[in-house]
Structure 1
Amino acid sequence: MTLTARPGQPLTAVEVEALQYAAEGHTAEQTARRLRISRAAVLDRTAAARTKLQARSTTHAVVLAYRTGQLDLDGQPAQLVQVRALVEQLHAVTDPSRSAA
C-alpha cells in the first residue's frame, strides 16, 4: 500500500480507520486485534496515511487528517480529548518551548 501512496492523495477508508484507532490511543497491535488483521497491515495503512498527508509521525497524521476534514471526530468527546492530547504532544515535539509552560 505504501508503495502506491503519493503525497496529496485522499485517504482511503482503511487508512482513516487506522488513524481513528491511533487517535483513540490504540497501539498497532491493539488495532490489529480489533480489526482482525495483521499488525503489519495496520502499520502499512498508517504509513500510507503519513505519506499522503506528508506527516512526520502517526500523531502528526492524525492532526493533519483531522484538520483537513478527512478524519471525523465530531460527536465523539473521548476521541476529541485524545486528539487534543496528540496535538499537544505534536506541539511539544515541534516547539519545545511550549511544553515548558
Structure 2
Amino acid sequence: MSPKSEVAIGARHGGTEQSRAHNGQGTSTDPFIVEFKRDDPENPMNWSASRKWFIAFIVTSSVFAVTFASSAYSDSSDEIIKDFNISTEVFSVGISLFILGFAVGPAVWAPLLL
C-alpha cells in the first residue's frame, strides 16, 4: 500500500486550514485515494433518498431550462430579425455564442471553482 500524504484543505466553515491523510502520491501512476469514514454525513452514498432525488431534480430542471431557453430563442428568429432589422448572420451570432458557452463554459468555470 502507498504511503499516506498530508494534504492541506480548506475547512468548510471558518476558512482555517486543516490536514487530512490520503493514500497515494497524487501522481498519474499513484493517485490519491479518497475514502469516506463510516457513516460520514458528507458521503453522497449516505444521503437520504429524498435528498438524492431533490438534487437530481434541481440539476435536471436546470439543464432543461437552459436547453429550452436556447431553443426558444431560435424559434423566434423571424420576429427578432424583423423587429431589430438585422441579418440572419447577426442573429446566428447569439445562438453560436450560446452553444459555445455550452461547449467551453464547463471547461473554463470548473477549474475556477476549486
Q: Scaled by the length of structure 1, what TM-score is found?
A: 0.26
Quick check: which has more Rg, 1 or 2? 2
- Of structures 1 and 2, the one scoring higher in RCO (CA 8 A, sep 6+) is 1
Q: Scaled by the length of structure 2, what TM-score is found?
A: 0.24
Structure holding more strand per residue: 2
